Structure formats: structure tokens, C-alpha cells
Amino acid sequence: MGHLILQGNNTDYPGFALLGESSLAITLEVTGMGSFNDLPFLVLSGTTTVSIGASGGNNFFTQLAETTNNLTTVTINSSAGLVFGAAAFNSNNGDGVVTDIAATATSATTIHSSLRLIDASASTGGLLIFAGATNTGGAINFRNGESLNANVTITYTGLKIEGGSGSDLIENDAKKGIVTDGNGPADTVILGGTGAKAILGAGAHDVVAVGVSDLGTPEAAGAVLGDSVTFGNAAMAKLLVRTGAEAGSTAGTASIGQTKVLHAADGMQIDFTTVTTSHFIFDATNTPTAVASATSLAAAENAAVNAFGSSGVVYFSFHGNEYFIATDNAEAAVSSSDAIVKLVGVTDIHHAANNFGLVTLHV
């Protein structure tokens, strides 16, 4: 096992490579009166596990790059601020961890990354972690200046990121990615992949965003559906619903795409402002329309927007759950640019307020 120790006082390190270590411990420490250290990249080969310890100030570690698709686990224990990755709007130089960057192929080839877990659950300092976005050949170079073979695509399906007890910002763009975070206040989670999950602790003012990416993941309508969000303190939480979480091509089908929220509560907010800026809102649950008599969810959803007859937000109860639909048009059925949020197990929201697309739940 190797051990890399970087101690510095406002130090910008050059990126470098450590090849052949089966496992590696990295210590990042801001010393003296310094406020930061910056490591732009570290390239590994044949390494299966990496642990990162950070202390003393704000540490920036932009990219851990691995060449052989062996790396499975990155563990982070930071008592200070740590930025791992970057909101670069491109996965190749924004992902905090990239694997198999030396892969070659003569025809189109998709490789599933060996990376399974980024575990920062022991961290107490505030973290910014960006990971899980698909790496594509022909895109911007990795942080070490190398490019991915033009025929290669690397995916991170199922990647799990565990946050700590500080105030964290974690983005996971992996399909079926999972983010869990602790009880720190004002945590922010970004889910950029379809079928993903966010599970947050009891901290106040947590925010989860779906259907958006700071890593360049395409977020056209319908790109990110089926995400699930569990709030530990929903009464003080906010869900941001963005373009990728709109219904897209699922509109007009028997199963219209949506985002699920578990443990929703009075006071929680749903931000639909990129979907609609109308202030109108309508509870269609008990209206004399086809909503109450609908035999399927899709029929109820289409009946609700038809009964609404306006832009804004319409909501209703159906089979033990509450559904909110944001639309920017008066329409007879759900359209591709509408967004739907399901509140699992909730049926008592009957006085929701809409402030030009920002909905606040009230019983």
C-alpha cells in the first residue's frame, strides 16, 4: 500500500502519476496560515482502492484518473473543505473519478466502469463531489491532458456516493446512481441520471435537483425520469424539477414518467420554475371530472390537466398518493414539456400555493 502525503500552504501542485500501487492512501493537509491546496489530477494504474484524508483548510482535488478499470472504491475522510471534481459542464474533465482512461477500441465500445462507491460518510467538513457522468471519446480531454479513444464510452451505472455530516453538495450523474447524505444542514444533491435515488438526513434546508447536470450530461425533456427522493426533514426541504425530468416521449403513453418523493410534508417546496412561471394552481381531486373515476394513473393525469384548462400546476390524489403536474400550456392531456411529481403515501395536501412555479405544500 502506498501513501501520498501533500502538505502545503496555498500550494498549487502539479498533477502527476503513481503507477502500480494496489491500494493508495492520500493525505491532503493545509498547513500554517494557508487557506488552500490544489491538486489538479493524479493518475493511477492497477489500483483497486483509494482513501483520501483532508484537513486544515480548503483542499481541491479535481480528478483521480485510473487507466486499467480496476478501481472500485474511493473513501474520503475530510475534517475540512474538500472539492472533488468540478462543475465543468463536461464529464471528461469534471468527474472527480474517471476509470479506464487508456482504453482502446477500433469500433464503438461501451465499458462499464469498475467504480462502485465513493464513501465520504466519515467526513465532517463540507464536501463538493462531482461524479458519475458518462465519459465519451472525442469530448474534452481529461485533466491530465489525455483524450479518450474516439470509439470508447465509459458508463458508471449504479455508482453510490455517501456524503458526510457537514453541509455537502453532491452530484451523481450515473444511471441508477444513489446518493445518501448525513444530517448536516443545507445539503444539496443533484441527480443527473435516470432511475437515481437521493436519501437525505434530518438537516434543515436540504435541496435536491433532478433533470439537470453540471457535468454536461444531456438533459433534454424525458432524459431523467424515475428518480426517487427521500427527505429526512421534508418540511424544510426543496425539490428542484428541471428540464430533464419533464415527461418527454413518455407523454401520451400508459406510463408517463415522473419523479417520486418519499416522506413529503407540509411546508416542503417543489420548484417547477423552469417548467412554468404561471401562478395558477388547481386541486382536481374532487372536481366533477374524470379524475375521480379514472381507472389508470395516466387517465387521471390527462383528466387533471384537461380539467385545469390553464398553465400552472394542477394536483390530485389517486390510489393513496398525491400527484403534482406542472404545465406551461392549457391542454387536454399531459404533454412532453410537462413535469410530474408523485408524493408517495400522501393524500392530505389540499391547500398548496403556487408562487409563479414555486409550489409550497400545505394540508
Q: Kindly state the cell numbers that stand for 326.
A: 406542472
pLDDT on residue 317: 94
pLDDT on residue 350: 87
pLDDT on residue 34: 73
363 residues of the chain, pLDDT tens digit each:
899 999 999 999 999 999 989 999 999 999 877 789 999 999 999 999 999 999 998 999 999 999 999 999 999 999 999 999 999 999 999 999 999 999 999 999 999 999 999 999 999 999 999 999 999 998 899 999 999 999 999 999 999 999 999 999 999 999 999 999 999 999 999 999 999 999 999 999 999 999 999 999 999 999 999 999 999 999 999 999 999 999 999 999 999 999 999 999 999 999 999 999 999 999 998 776 678 889 999 999 999 999 999 999 999 999 999 999 999 999 999 999 999 999 999 999 989 999 999 999 998
In 3D, which of 196, 155, 137 has the Cα closest to residue 172? 196
Instruction: Let me know: does 245 contact 227? Beta carbons within 8 Å.
Output: yes
Dihedral sign for Cα 241, 173, 199, 205, please. negative
d(C-alpha 299, C-alpha 303), whole Å: 6
Distances (CA, A) of 188 to 227, 237, 298: 15, 10, 31
pLDDT on residue 172: 98
d(C-alpha 196, C-alpha 139), whole Å: 24
Question: What is the 3 state secondary structure string of the chain?
Answer: CEEEEEEECCEECCCEEEECCCEEEEEEEECCCCCEEEECCEEEECCCEEEEEEECCEEEECCEEECCCCCCEEEEEECCCEEECCCCCCHHHHCCEECCCCCCCCCCEEEECCCCEEECCCCCCCEEEEECCCEECCCCCCCCCCCCCCCEEEECCCCEEECCCCCCEEEECCCCCEEECCCCCCCEEEECCCCCEEECCCCCCCEEEECCCCCCCCCCCCCCCCCEEECCCHHHCEEEECHHHECHHHCCCCCCCCEEEECCCCCCEEECCCCCCCCCEEECCCCCCHHHHCCCHHHHHHHHHHHHCCCEEEEEEECCEEEEEEECCCCCCCCCCCEEEEECCCCCCCCCEEECCEEECCC
Share of the chain above pLDDT 90, in %: 92
Residue type for 8, please? G
pLDDT on residue 63: 98
pLDDT on residue 182: 93
d(C-alpha 239, C-alpha 32), whole Å: 41
CB proximity list for 339: less than 8 A, separation 6 or greater: 211, 241, 245, 246, 247, 259, 272, 275, 325, 326
Residue type for 197, please? K
